[in-house]
Structure 1
Amino acid sequence: MIPVVRSLLETDLYKFTMWQALLHSHPNSFTEYEFRCRNETAYPLAELKAEVEEQLDHLCTLSFREEELNYLRSLRYIKSDFVDFLTVFRFQRKFITVKAEGERLSIHTAGPQVHVMGFEIFVLYIVNELYFRRFDQQAALAEGRRRLDAKIVRLKEFSTQPAMKHPFELSDFGVRRRFSSSWHDEVTQRLAREVPEYFKGTSNVYQAWKFGIFPIGTMAHEYMQSFQAFGVRLRDFQKAALEAWVQEYRGDLGIALTDVVGMDAFLADFDLYFAKLFDGLRHDSGDPIEWGEKAIAHYASLRIDPNTKRLVFSDSLNLDKAIHLYRHFADRIMTGFGIGTHLTNDMGLTPLNIVMKLVRCNGQSVAKLSDSPGKTMSQDETFLAYLRQVFKHPAM
């Protein structure tokens, strides 16, 4: 077996930041996560079952190395007691099951949230890398390098374009659906070396440590969704989640995710208090232009200069789309662009659209009401209907 996972540090930064916050505020929550593939595949993912099981067995033998823990300690927002917890942490194989259900691959985790929430990113890039190992590697890498060359040329063209008020800043958000770890390394190192004026960071903590790149990330949907089951009124869960984040990080990691129950419902909760405390907002579903205009209008309505805030775009971005959004917004508000699959798996092959989402917390359903069709993930139609009613969100 060739291991896919090379370090427990190789996950998205926001896994660590959410993990710390939930360990401190809700250490006893019990959660379930489910894997899903949203698109057609070249061959049934169920064929990967035995290999996935083998890779998960390997994952559960790993622990954090001392030098990795020291790197986490060096991040000012990571607290010493959390690193102490990670010193003894290991994934437990009993909390994750893999099944072949016809042609579908079923992966399910159930257990204490602080022990199972970390599985997500590893499961996704294990499945992804195993899947693409069956394709012609040399042909894929040749095409990937050709496309990466074109991206770098396009970025270098910025120096000849008219300047805008705020700079163009690009980050790598591609660990979960990458072609392979070696290709991911090649992409981030070339961007950091050849276009450092535009490439500002990576969500991959292992690469940030190994290559001296700035680590990027704050929160994901599972953090916000968890508060739907933490004992507050459902209509108040976003405010409770944001307040808990402020208390945990006190000014650090100030980009808030907006689309757990839709942008309109988020802005209704994102009052002057939160708008001043958070540095900006992250887009992950719905029309990005419409979303950004709503954000700017909201800041203006609160008499906050939008130029002091940042919009981070991360929904299915490619470089052309990022540049288009930059040209639209960069004279009015700071921007940032997190590109994932179109950086780390742009190889001329159809990428997998795979996710692993939180579906239950403390025995009750939780869900995201996406602003994009097809992104809502819950099998509890009763809860979804109630969530839509509370937040006046249209069915999609």
Structure 2
Amino acid sequence: MMIQSLLDTDLYKFTMMQVVLHHFPGADVEYRFRCRRTGVDLAACADEIREEVAALCTLRFTEDELDYLRGLRFLKSDFVDFLRLFQLDTRYIDIAPAPEGGGALDIRIRGPWLHTILFEVPVLAIVNEVYFRRTQPQPDYAEGRARLAAKLALLGQPGQEACKIADYGTRRRFSRDWQEEVVLATRARLGTQYAGTSNVWLAARYGMTPLGTMAHEYVQACQALGPRLRDSQVFALDTWAHEYRGDLGIALSDTVGFDAFLRDFDLYFCKLFDGVRHDSGDPEQWGERMLAHYAAHRIDARSKLLVFSDGLTAPRIVALYERFRERCQLAFGIGTDLTNDLGYEALPIVIKMTRCNGQPVAKLSDAPGKTMSDDPGYLAYLRQVFGGAAEPAP
């Protein structure tokens, strides 16, 4: 059984889930799986993935796990009480070889948002682990440890003590055991540079800081749940601030394009949120524009946090740190390159929300290939409303 605890997921699934419980308990959603690389035979893994997901759906939160969640100041008692009753349900997820063939895998998740939101991260982790067990039955852990040691040596150089590193690698990890080894080694080598992990199970088990706020699905859902489409991003930020009252103050900047985000992220939000997270597009340009945006609103960027989390590597982190250090606060969330680098090509897989309450929703990415929708007409309309780049639908 690959997933042995419902805590084995990213913190932002719980923080978003609490917002769903309190503000959108009746919302229904659909998610779709996608592998961004062609020619990968995941269809052969379908039966084993289905078995692992069935095992995932037998899990319940234990009393110790609930006590841990109750100790997080931003999670409210009624939400933790709801989790006491929670269990994932196989009725809401379908897994099968894709009709188009070629080894593609079709995973569809449909049902109440409140009861499906916790599928994404463990299902992606299962797909990864099943695939690599099949293709790499004798993993080269010595190579993985050597690669990890080189990365940590680069990140832990003298003079970089303020370069804060976090693990964001649950969904595309090589395996659960490997992520655990990597995270423990990272904390041991980097010491105070290590900020924590997005993985709640690891955070609870080893006394680490759990990290995370919101993901694209939350802002996407607000396209259907808000008063009107053009105001959906503002509605998402306002609802988040209303729920958390100053906690979890990192805004996600790229759901409908960075230009649209800057238009919506006015003086009120600049002051209200502690910082902003980058997840697509050129990080140097993004950082410069974000600092200029703060300056235009007469805000000292040194009081704000920029979080970089898009496809980071150790050399990339060092370069970004050197460019932006002392101009703002910085944090770096490193995912696949940390938890799935044993010398094998990682799987570029995602599960994205495509519909909410029967209406299409989408992310307009600042990076080619990351836009995902099942409705090209809606994508065109979304770009018209928010002024996004004309990237073709997949």
Give the TM-score normalised by structure 2: 0.97
2:77 — aligned with what?
80
Distance 1:194 1:137, change over 3 A: farther
The change in CA–CA distance for 1:136 and 1:394 in structure 2 (over 3 A counts) is closer
What is residue 30 of structure 1 aligned with on the other side?
28
1:46 aligns with 2:46: no
The correspondence for 1:220, drawn from 196, 203, 215, is: 215
* Alpha-carbon distance between aligned partners in 2 of 1:226 and 1:49, rounded to the nearest angstrom: 28
Counterpart amino acid of residue 7 in structure 2: L
Following the alignment from structure 2 to structure 1, what is the Cα–Cα distance between the partners of residues 371 and 226? 23
- The corresponding residue for 1:318 is 313
Name the amino acid aligned to 1:263: F
Instruction: Quote how far apart the aligned CAs of 1:23 are.
Output: 1.0
**Preserved contact between residue 140 and residue 349 of structure 1 (Cα < 8 Å):** no
Task: Provide the secondary structure at the position in 1 that maps to 2:368.
Answer: coil
Q: 162, 165, 175: which is aligned to 1:170?
A: 165
Alignment check: 8 A CA contact 2:169 2:335 kept = yes
| Contact 2:155–2:318 (Cα < 8 Å) also in 1 | no
Q: Please list every run of 5 or more consecutive structure 2 residues that lacks an aligned counterpart in the other structure.
A: none
Q: Is 189-198 or 364-373 further displaced after alignment? A: 189-198
Aligned twin of 1:209: 204
Residues 179-222 of structure 1 show CA distances to partners (whole Å, capped at 9, x for unaligned) of: 01111111111111221121110000000000111101000000
Residue in structure 2 matched with residue 114 of structure 1 by the alignment: 114
Alignment of structure 1 residues 1-396 onto 2, 5 Å:
3-40=1-38, 43-101=40-98, 102=101, 103-136=103-136, 138-157=138-157, 159=158, 161=159, 167-396=162-391
1:279/1:302 Cα in 2 relative to 1: closer, same or farther (>3 Å)?
same
Instruction: Tell me how far 1:153 sits from its aligned partner.
Output: 1.8
In structure 2, C-alpha distance between the alignment counterparts of 1:98 and 1:5, rounded to whole Å: 17
In structure 1, distance between residues paired with 2:359 and 2:155? 46
Cα drift, residue 6 of structure 1? 1.2
Structure 1 counterpart of 2:385, which letter?
V
Q: 1:262 and 1:305 mapped to 2: Cα distance?
A: 24
Q: What is the SS of the residue equivalent to 1:195?
A: helix
Moved over 4 A (4+): none
CA RMSD of aligned residues (A): 1.1
Range that drifts further, 211-220 or 148-157:
148-157
Q: In structure 2, do the counterparts of structure 1 residues 278 and 231 end up closer, same or farther at CA, with 3 Å as the change threshold?
A: closer
In 2, Cα distance between equivalents of 1:139 and 1:76: 40
Separation in 1, partners of 2:32, 2:374: 11
The secondary structure found in structure 2 opposite 1:133 is helix
Contact 2:125–2:170 (Cα < 8 Å) also in 1: yes
Q: Following TM superposition, by how much is the alpha carbon of 1:139 offset from its aligned partner in structure 2, in angstroms?
A: 4.3
Whole-Å Cα distance in 2 between the matches of residues 136 and 36 of structure 1?
Answer: 22
Deviation of 1:392 after TM superposition, in Å, equals 1.1
Distance 1:95 1:54 in 2: 15
Question: Is contact 1:192-1:213 (8 Å) kept?
Answer: no
Contact 2:226 2:235 in 1 (8 A): no
Work out the CA distance in 2 between the residues paired with 1:365 and 1:139: 41
C-alpha offsets along residues 261-290 of structure 1, whole Å, 9 cap, x if unaligned?
111100101111111110000000011111
Deviations 1:56-84 (A, max 9, x none): 11011110010000000000000000000
| CA distance in structure 2 between the aligned counterparts of 1:287 and 1:203, rounded to whole angstroms | 23
Code of the residue aligned with 1:196 in structure 2: it is: G
Letter of the structure 2 residue corresponding to residue 317 of structure 1 = L
Q: Distance in 2 between matches of 1:140 and 1:18?
A: 37
Distance in 2 of aligned mates of 1:143 and 1:17: 36
Q: In structure 1, how many angstroms separate the alpha carbons of the residues matched to 2:208 and 2:25?
A: 31
Cα distance in 1 for residues equivalent to 2:258 and 2:292 = 13
Q: Which ranges in structure 1 are unaligned for 5 or more consecutive residues? A: none
Q: Given that residues 13 and 204 in structure 1 are in contact (C-alpha distance below 8 angstroms), is that contact kept between their aligned partners in structure 2?
A: yes
> Which sits farther off after the overlay, 187-196 or 299-308?
187-196
Give the superposition deviation at 1:94.
0.5
Q: How much does 1:140 deviate?
A: 2.3
**Cα distance, 1:136–1:385 mapped onto 2, change above 3 Å:** closer
Same amino acid, percent of matched pairs: 54
